[in-house]
A and B are shown apart, each in its own frame.
Chain A
Amino acid sequence: MRLPAHPATFAAALAIARRDLLEFVRDRRTLVVTLLLPMATYPILALATALGLRTATHEIEARMAPVKIQVGLSGPEAARLAGLMQRVLESTPRGERGGWPAAVELADVTDADAAKLLDDGAIDLWITARRGLVADLEASGTVRLPVQVSADRPAGANVREQFVAFTRSLGRQAARERVRRAGLPATLLDPLDVVFEGDRDGGPPVQTQNVLSTLAGGVLVLLTVLTLTGAFYPAIDAIAGEKERGTIETLLIAPCRLIDVVFGKFLSVVAITLATLVANVASITATAAVALRSLPQGVVATLPEGTLALAAVATVAAFAGMAALAAATCLAVTTASKSGKEAQNTLTPVILLVSAVAGTALLPGMRGGPLLAAVPFAGQIVVARLALGTAAEPPATVATIVASLGISLLSSLLFTWLLLRLTTHGLADEDMLFRGPDVAGTAFHRPVRRARPNVIQAFLPLVAGFAGLWYSQGLVPSDLVQAIPLQQAVAVLLPLAAAMWWQRVDLRGTFSLRRPAEGLGSTAAIAGGALLGAGLFVVGAAILLAFQGDGISTEARQLSARLVSLIQKQPWWLAWTLIAVVPAVCEELLFRGWVLAGLAGRPKPGGVPWAAIGIQAAAFALFHLLPERMPQTFVLGLVLGTLVVVTRSILPAVACHLAHNSMPLAILGLAGDVPDLARMVETGEAAGSGRLPGWIVAAAALAVVLGGGLVAAAVRRSKFSDHPRSPLP
């Protein structure tokens, strides 16, 4: 048989895709769950929504509907007041009865039995017409009209609102009488008559509310989730399923590159995902066409004229990119799994996480610019919303929509490609392919004693810490004396302690618990770190003042104010411990100890793990939650990480962090001499001049240079030039 040297790359991928698609189509159960079930749920969802809307509308209508009001009148002028009211009831034109009750029935009652009639529900309201009431109405003052309601069966809001509308007409009638008696023209009461002109058809008959953007937001997030679920089962079947059935080896010995196998798998998964997307879009459109007919009166869901085609094309194109991204994501996540069950366990939280990311596209700020379109799983919704418009803004210009779509598609393509490379890498991993029952779960197994955590384990206390930080926000007391230790414990120490116990790492190596150098060198390195920290705080503050100005959030200002209050009200040692010592020790152990050690791996002579330093610095910046502080904390994180790597000791980093956090206390002590800096610390905003005194910035820059020089000198003189080798793996 004549065979080509190697089958063409795309032909091999296509052959795999055809095989997988055929297998998937034969799996009727999955086909129904993936394709048909979502389609069948739309009519049910639409029906439930329509019924809910109708019920809500009925309740509103029932509340607004005119009612019959029984009014009991007593007192010496009851008959005269009844006469006035009756005249208003009979003479007010229909057009001026806005908000009126359906009927007002007047009844003569006595003061003795009025209260009982109210409580029995025979009358809704009771008015005692005092002597002189009608005369006062005819005079020039404002008449107070007490209306009694039952204490046991108080009249509803609709009764009160509608009676007030009626009495407004009564008052207007009285005003007209006053004007007439004064010999003044009746137009005195109607100085303006506003008329809209220019409308061909006289303007809209009723006020309408366009709910398209509100509905579209929810539908787009739902569509994202459905796109992900469209990729869910085929992706699990594509790799984990093949491993479970023992057929993966037959594909891996195909005469093509591994990336071709992965690309073939991707083609089949993306084809099914797209089919799911199309089926869902068709179902949503058909359901919407039916459901939107039964919108309540005054509510519409339409696009501005001429924008439908562009909005549809942009949305479908962006979501096609999302289908590719979803397929690649699900494939990458399930590659490490050895069975369908394991893949489901791994993929489900990822789907939830990605759905949460998609939900962020509905936040108000996410319509800000086309660059947001690059955010995976949220950018596609951003594009669609730009094209559809929101309640606050009309659809964007064609150029903006096209640019956003281009960015979104490029981003989808890039992330898809990266994820496919990751899948290929995972598929080539012999451990994942052949060994162990659950390689993906090894991060969660308690390992044997080891020198340092691995990359996945490095992130575990961080994830737990972030969760702790987030959830503790609502639990911690407002008093910082209690809040700071509690937050450091929940977000740093507890996750770190749990990780240390679980992972059984060598603490000395992981946390770099050693002197940075010998003798004076050690002191020089620690002093250098402290100078660096102090200088960096002031330089960072100067940059913040120069560039950020008034753009500081309320949260940042509130935090600054609370810190200043802590410094001013507590003994200096307590404030210093809470603001400087506790964070410096706890955060250095977590970020420059555990995280950096895990990310950097085994030290290599002469090598600096820049990626590890950068990632831990980014995590450190994110950990401080406030966006304003992130650039400064990121730079600080870089310096601290570098200090640990070059000195192979955590002590200079702790000194640096300690000095950095001590500066607010030092500055407040000097507040009288350096008012701008003190104000910056106090309020978190730029002072009047917008700049720090030059000598302060120069001194801080000098401290940075001097500190860096001291550390460099200490490292150069250090006899610990060789990396300590742990006997542990």
Chain B
Amino acid sequence: MAAEPTIEAVGLVKHYHAGDGGVVRAVNGVSFTVHAGEMVGLLGANGAGKTTTLRMLATLLKTTAGTARVAGCDVRHDPVGVRQQLGYVSATTGVPDRLSPREIFTSFGRLHGIPPDELPARVDTLLRQLDLRGCADRPAGRLSSGQRQRVSLGRALVHDPPALVLDEPTNALDVVGSRDLLLLLGELRAAGHAILLSTHRLHEIETRCDRFVIIHDGRVVATGTRDGLVAEWIPDRAGELEDAFFAAIGRQAAGAGGGP
């Protein structure tokens, strides 16, 4: 594993002004790292701050305090550089209905500055890699949810970024679609991509992620491997990641602080 993390969040803070004049502390000092060839799961309940954290990493939201780096580019000082190094898949599928997968990959390839002579080959590679050749020229609006999610992933991969950030990528997928997508992510990890994905469907990623970061109320309450988290949070009995997760956020909710 490389010494320098590909994705590094350092004390990320995001506060919003609420409609009633108060301040919402959506993310409150989140730090973690993801290295090349590593897949990290960002876990948390709804409203825990997962999406806000990922959006700050993707430079879609400005940080209130703290910073993050992607492949050495700082989100505050070099947001364009970050976007060049990052593939981001939002919680919505984010696929234009009237364009085909080939057109979507081509347009985003142009946007990322891929030379015109290399672009068709790159698009063909992606279509093959994502098993989209059969529907490469069909409007995305007529694709299945699984195919659309793969198109979304392909769009994020078109410039072959070292870092990949996915916000609840399996939400709209059935069991088969989820398994296919996670297998694909496994292949990308094996190819050396640093992958950070958020989800609250813990059982799907329990055995697929290398490490997990559990956040609750905008704070990191636990980090570690599956076995490490289980041992740390439910030491007195055998359990699953879900048990460790509930123990971590339950302890936090009970006011026990950020660790056991």
Contacts and interface: CB of A to CB of B under 8 A. Distances in A.
Given A246-B93, A249-B60, A448-B20, A8 B103 contact: no
Interface in B26-60: 55, 58-60
B80 A728 contact: no
Contacts of A515: none
B95 A247 contact: yes
A253 B58 contact: yes
Contacts of A448: 19-21
B83 A253 contact: yes
Given A250-B155, A448-B20, A728-B21, A27 B98 contact: yes
Nearest to A26: B98
A455 to B, nearest CB: 16
A253 B107 contact: no
Given A3-B114, A18-B107, A250 B98 contact: no
Interface in A693-729: 728-729
Most chain A CB inside 10 Å of its own CB: which residue of B21, B59, B152: B21
Interface string A379-423: 000000000000000000000000000000000000000000000
A246 B92 contact: yes
B20 A1 contact: no
> Which of B20, B107, B159 has the most chain A CB atoms closer than 10 A to its own CB?
B107
A194 interface: no
B16 A23 contact: no
Contacts of A6: 80-81, 84, 113
A4 B58 CA distance: 19
Contact of A26 (B93, B115, B118, B139): B139
B106 to A, nearest CB: 9
Contacts of A247: 92, 94-96
B94 A5 contact: no
A11 B59 CA distance: 21
Given A1-B118, A11-B110, A246-B94, A253 B86 contact: yes
Contacts of B133: none
Nearest to A18: B107
Contacts of A450: 21
A369 interface: no
Interface string A178-199: 0000000000000000000000
Interface string B64-78: 000000000000000
A22 interface: yes
B108 A250 contact: yes
A4 B61 CA distance: 25
Nearest to A12: B111
Contact of B159 (A3, A26, A433, A442): A3
Contacts of B88: 249-250, 253
Contact of A1 (B86, B95, B114): B114
B112 A255 contact: yes
Interface string B211-224: 00000000000000
Interface string B100-124: 0001000110111111001000100
> On chain B, which size bracket covers the interface?
35 or more
B148 to A, nearest CB: 11
Interface in A241-279: 245-247, 249-257
A11 B112 CA distance: 9
Contact of B90 (A250, A256, A436): A250
Contacts of B114: 1, 3
A444 to B, nearest CB: 14
Interface in A1-50: 1-8, 11-12, 14-16, 18-19, 22-23, 26-27
Contact of B160 (A1, A14, A26): A1
B139 A8 contact: no
A23 B113 contact: no
Interface in B107-151: 107-108, 110-115, 118, 122, 139
B112 A3 contact: yes
Contacts of A305: none
A14 B94 CA distance: 20
A257 B111 contact: no
Interface string A555-587: 000000000000000000000000000000000
Contact of A23 (B21, B59, B96): B96
Contacts of B60: 249, 252-253, 433-434
Contact of B98 (A11, A23, A252, A254): A23
Given A22-B99, A256-B111, A729-B21, A246 B84 contact: no
A481 B113 CA distance: 73
Contacts of B21: 448, 450, 728-729
A22 B104 CA distance: 10
Contacts of A434: 55, 60-61
A251 B110 CA distance: 12
A191 to B, nearest CB: 83
A435 interface: yes
A246 B19 CA distance: 24
A434 B98 CA distance: 24
B97 interface: yes
A255 B83 contact: yes
Nearest to B113: A7
A430 interface: yes
A257 B20 contact: no
Contacts of A728: 21
A256 B60 CA distance: 13
Nearest to B139: A26
Given A7-B111, A26-B139, A245 B86 contact: no
Contacts of A430: 16, 61-62
A11 to B, nearest CB: 7
Contacts of B92: 245-247, 249
Nearest to A450: B21
A23 B99 CA distance: 6
Contacts of A15: 107, 110-111
Nearest to A256: B80
Contacts of A447: 19
B248 to A, nearest CB: 27
Contacts of B112: 3, 7, 254-255
Interface string B140-175: 000000000000100100011000000000000000
B84 A3 contact: yes
Nearest to B59: A253
Nearest to A15: B110
A240 to B, nearest CB: 14
Nearest to A442: B19
A250 B83 contact: no
B213 to A, nearest CB: 21
Contacts of A435: 16
B73 to A, nearest CB: 10
Nearest to B22: A729
Nearest to B159: A3
A246 B114 CA distance: 24
B84 to A, nearest CB: 4
Given A15-B111, A255-B81, 13 more contacts: A6-B80, A6-B81, A16-B111, A22-B103, A245-B96, A247-B92, A250-B108, A251-B111, A254-B111, A256-B111, A257-B80, A436-B19, A450-B21
28 contacts: A3-B113, A5-B81, A6-B113, A12-B113, A15-B111, A18-B107, A18-B110, A19-B99, A22-B107, A23-B99, A26-B98, A26-B139, A27-B98, A249-B90, A250-B152, A252-B60, A253-B60, A253-B86, A254-B108, A255-B80, A255-B81, A255-B113, A430-B16, A433-B60, A436-B19, A448-B19, A448-B21, A729-B20
Interface of A: 1-8, 11-12, 14-16, 18-19, 22-23, 26-27, 245-247, 249-257, 430-431, 433-436, 442, 447-448, 450, 728-729
Per CB-CB distance, the 3 closest pairs between chain A and chain B, nearest first, are: A246-B92, A729-B21, A7-B113
